[in-house]
Amino acid sequence: MAIIAGFMVPHPPLIVPEVGRGGEKQIEETTAAYEKVADRIAELKPDTIVLTSPHSIMYADYFHISPGSGATGSFAGFGAPSVKCDVTYDTEFVSALSVESDLQGISAGTLGEKNRELDHGSLVPLYFIRQKHTDFRFVRTGLSGLPLTEHYRFGMAMAKVAETLGRRTVLVASGDLSHKLKDEGPYGFDPAGPEYDERIMDVMGRGDFGELFLFDEHFLEKAAECGHRSFVIMAGAFDRTKVSIEKLSHQDVTGVGYGICCYEAASAPGTDQSRAFLDVFEKAEEERRKAAMEKEDFFVRLARKSLETHILTGRVLDAKEATDQLLRSAGEDKKEAFEKAADELLSRRAGAFVSLHKQGQLRGCIGTIGPVRSSLAEEIIENAVNAAVHDSRFLPVEKEELPLIEYSVDVLSEPEDIDSEELLDVKRYGVIVTKGHKRGLLLPNLEGVDTIGEQLSIAKRKAGLSADEKGCSLQRFEVVRHY
């Protein structure tokens, strides 16, 4: 057997009558759909239910799989301590999933347990399921901050384990949609909220799981969704598998989106090559990166050569040697522009930031506000290496990652003092916030930073100050961004 069915479900504690105390009536459509999900699971009689929850333990670079023989939980945190649930874990499945993940190079396992109790992302689905079906063992996993592609691969590993163990397995992808659908909602409104709900229900309603990779991380953050990665894991569990789809409900009456869809395997696992969504996406991404590399200007090529040389040989490039090598490798169509850029890099001094991205996520960024080396070329060479190995927010870049790294280089103008934040423009100017010995910088024109307030808040936090810190001095600067 493999994953025989999957269910996309929300987890509003409000839906439990003892918690909602009448408030659950406003989402009766969701309740009715949940009842259908529970009925279908009871009909399928799974041996194991695997549930992915955004509210289980979550790490930036690791999928946590709940360890032990079982767990309990209640809605005590929502005013209903009498509503309890206990589950028995499928320890064989948990162990096999940890091993399979390791074999596939997926960072996942049972380490790092902080709270054994069941979270509400697990309790709400279990509340409905256990009313109809109790003869099953349970597997609970969290999500991670890893790229969406890794979540898909984690789902593929789940399907492999279910098949190897011969388990009739159902996967429950727990997750709400946007939390920013209404001004009067608990999280306020953002235009990305309703846009996310419309897009995700369209994608999930058609089962075109490849489109899940196309949701930009900044867009997901603005929409304040919590289930997208759960849905991607479930998609991975059905890789190369045709599914029958039933879209049951979508409500947004509370300012939070709740969507329910059902998926049942309609073909043997791995038999429908038209649904090899990860392969298709990764091939397209490889072609896109190749095309982008062909268009890289001289500044970015210098950053790339610096980092790749250091990772592969441990050597820091000499500026003149590096620019000469790049000039020799330039095609005739680029030679004149590259010679001009090389002259500027070797003769000019300026501050510069090098930013690294991998699969749409920041992988490192370090720079200098003003010149600290003898040339701009040296500034870029050193900062490219530092961004890869000395950015404390990330582990050092490994050589296997090099083909996936994308670069940008920002060359900074001389900062100028300003006496009002009204003189800022998030698209045009970067900002430097200083108070005492604390200083924070934020580059301009960054995805996800749309207002001066957001820009200042982030810069203050980077300085180690509170987001609403008063009495800070401000400077602004412009950049020339190279790709």
pLDDT tens-digit readout, 164-183: 999 999 999 999 999 999 99
Half-sphere exposure of 323 (CA within 13 A, CB side): 21
pLDDT on residue 200: 98
End-to-end CA distance of the chain: 48
E strands of 40-93, at which residues? 48-52, 63-64, 70-75, 80-88
pLDDT tens-digit readout, 197-224: 999 999 999 999 999 999 999 999 999 9
Evaluate the CA torsion angle 473, 368, 356, 59 in order and state its sign.
negative
CATH code, 291-482: 3.30.700.20
**Cα of 427 vs its chain's centroid, Å:** 24
Dihedrals phi, psi of 72, to nearest 5 degrees: -130, 165
Please give the C-alpha separations between residue 382 and each of 216, 367, 483, in angstroms, as whole numbers.
30, 9, 18
Architecture of domain 3-285: 3-Layer(aba) Sandwich (3.40)
Cα 474 to Cα 26: distance, rounded to the nearest angstrom: 48
pTM of the entire predicted model: 0.91
Domains 3-285 and 291-482 share a fold: no
pLDDT on residue 477: 97
pLDDT tens-digit readout, 220-250: 999 999 999 999 999 999 999 999 999 999 9
The domain segmentation of the chain, as residue ranges, is 3-285, 291-482
Average pLDDT, whole number, for the chain? 96
Percent of the chain at pLDDT > 90 equals 96
Mean pLDDT by 10 residues, the chain (483 residues): 93 97 96 98 98 97 97 97 97 98 97 94 98 97 97 98 97 98 93 97 98 95 97 98 98 96 93 96 96 96 98 96 94 93 97 95 95 97 97 94 97 95 95 95 92 95 93 96 96
